[in-house]
Amino acid sequence: MTPSVLTLNSKLPGVTTTIFQTMSSIAQEAKAINLGQGSPDFDCAPELIQSVHGAMLAGHNQYPPMIGSLNLRQAVVQKVEQLYRARYDVNGEITITSGATQGLLTSILATVHAGDEVIVIEPAYDSYVPSIQLAGGIPVRVPMHYLKSEARFSYDWDLVRNALSPRTRMIIINSPHNPTGVCLDQEDLDTLAEIVRDSNIIILSDEVYEHMVFDRRKHNSLASHEELRQRTLIVSSFGKTYHVTGWKIGYVLGPHNLMQEFRKVHQFNVFTANSAMQIGIANFMEDPQPYLDLPGFYQAKRDYFRDGLSNTAFKLLPTEGSYFQCVDYSELSDVSELEFATWLCQQIGVAAIPISAFYHEKKDQKLVRFCFAKKITTLDQAIEKLQKLKFK
């Protein structure tokens, strides 16, 4: 008997391998320096490892509470109050998650219904739209404004306002922004508050790079805006903050009514996050200096990398926050961003990410993104290769 062929109606028919995995695979084959993958190539603090190890030895190896261990929730609430002057209820307004991506997905699944519209500001992190589609929502894409003559991105709030409809359920915000490095200022928050005032729109704020804001700027968390805080789910990441992206530990903050719905999905999604890591991170957070020092730590890497590229044909875009540097390569080549990134990886030996990958329509602006969350030796090797590029 000939076995029947199983047919599937995919929930994500347009989704293929992510550009990050694609470029990392090309980099591995080419033995290239990988400045595409958004993760550090250096170790976390030894004290953090010891703290987690101590938690394991102390017996914290079974299920923690579904909403997260109490001492870690307390540590986050205290940090948020000190930095943003916002007080969240430790029992009803914070949940520890298995990474920020899980927090984003769960936030969307908990609040977006079939037919609801969700505004996504492009270029956008690649998990947003598939999460909306899994919830049955409709992504409404709004582009950031890109002024090529100044090589600068900015938010276009008029476009956001014009994209609203009676079906708009959510607006997704990301600051510091991946991939552009743009940060929201107070005026942006006030404008956003005016846009959603007297509506039923939820804000999902992706703030995983909250501690990487440069040039003495402050991070304008939506937690710091009293009006927006009442309708916002805020997602952050211990993995980004403490250089342990592989641990997949994050958290979500939100008002009680939103958090109640979030937890209904969270408990059947992952139930809870790694217990020993929660305890270890909570103990490590008793000293705030590691995250308070992070802006200076990454600004030094940003400045070092930018200085190394200053005499190349790349035009450097401003990087206000995050650990990404976008560059305009139009003085080097006329090929598409994907072609250039592939050539750069295979022929020059440095991996980057095409910015077109962050757009649904693969908008081509002759831009690629480098990650500078690397050892100085790694950056030196990459800079040496990139400095050999010649004007077209």
Query: Which tens digits make up the pLDDT trace of 333-384?
Result: 999 999 999 999 999 999 999 999 999 999 999 999 999 999 999 999 999 9
**pLDDT of amino acid 19:** 85
168-174 and 250-253: which strand pairing?
A: unpaired
| All structural domains of the chain | 19-38+292-386 (3.90.1150.10), 46-286 (3.40.640.10)
**pLDDT of amino acid 299:** 98
Which whole-number Å values give the CA distances from 32 to 5, 17, 36, 222, 382, in the listed order? 41, 20, 10, 39, 9
Percent of the chain with pLDDT over 70: 99
Bridge partners of residue 327, in order along the sequence: 316, 368
- Decide if 350 contacts 374 (C-beta within 8 A): no
Who contacts 142 (Cβ-Cβ below 8 Å, separation ≥6)? Answer: 119, 120, 121, 122, 156, 159, 160, 163
Q: Is the pLDDT of residue 8 over 70?
A: yes
Higher pLDDT, 5 or 295: 295
- Token pair, residue 265, equals 């999905």
- Decide if 313 contacts 329 (C-beta within 8 A): yes
Bridge partners of residue 324, in order along the sequence: 371
Q: How would DSSP label each residue in 350-363?
A: EE-EEGGGGSTT--
**pLDDT of amino acid 82:** 97
**pLDDT of amino acid 309:** 96
pLDDT category at 392 given cuts 50, 70, 90 is: low
Segments in the chain forming alpha helices (H):
19-30, 46-57, 70-84, 100-111, 128-134, 157-163, 186-196, 226-229, 238-241, 256-269, 275-284, 289-292, 294-309, 337-343, 376-386
**pLDDT of amino acid 1:** 66
**pLDDT of amino acid 390:** 81
Letter string b/e over residues 209-243, b meaning 16 or more CB atoms within 10 A of that residue's CB: bbbbbbeeeebbbbbbbeebbebbbbbbbbbbbbb
Q: Is the pLDDT of residue 74 over 90?
A: yes
**pLDDT of amino acid 256:** 98
**pLDDT of amino acid 288:** 97
Higher pLDDT, 150 or 313: 313
